[in-house]
Amino acid sequence: MNFTWMAWTAPTALFFLTILLLLVGMSVWEYLVPGGSPRKGILQFETTRGDRLFISLLGSAFINLAWLGLVGPNLWWALALAVVYAVGVFRFV
């Protein structure tokens, strides 16, 4: 199969591998400790672990897309920024 049109660079592959590992990890966590740990954060409505994961993944995708459009194809800093953003979402949202 020819995937050259997808521009699979190492940071891009690492980004999607990270998403996969996060989804698997969250599934195992939910299986072991069901309920999703609902809480109120800065958004002032109840969010679960799954909600916070979705918000962090969505924001990370936008961070990476904006980085590609504004800075260029070197995504290592965008990946680092996305990780910081995700930690912030899980901590404060």
Instruction: Give the start-end residues of each E strand in the chain.
Output: 39-40, 46-47
Q: Which two tokens stand for residue 65?
A: 């897309």
78-90 pLDDT per residue, tens: 989 999 999 999 9
52-67 pLDDT per residue, tens: 999 998 999 999 899 9
Amino acid letter for position 37: S
R_g of the chain computed on alpha carbons: 15
Rounded to two decimals, the pTM is 0.76
Q: List the chain domain ranges.
A: 46-93
16-31 pLDDT per residue, tens: 888 899 889 999 998 9
Query: Residue 3 phi/psi, 5° resolution?
Result: -110, 20
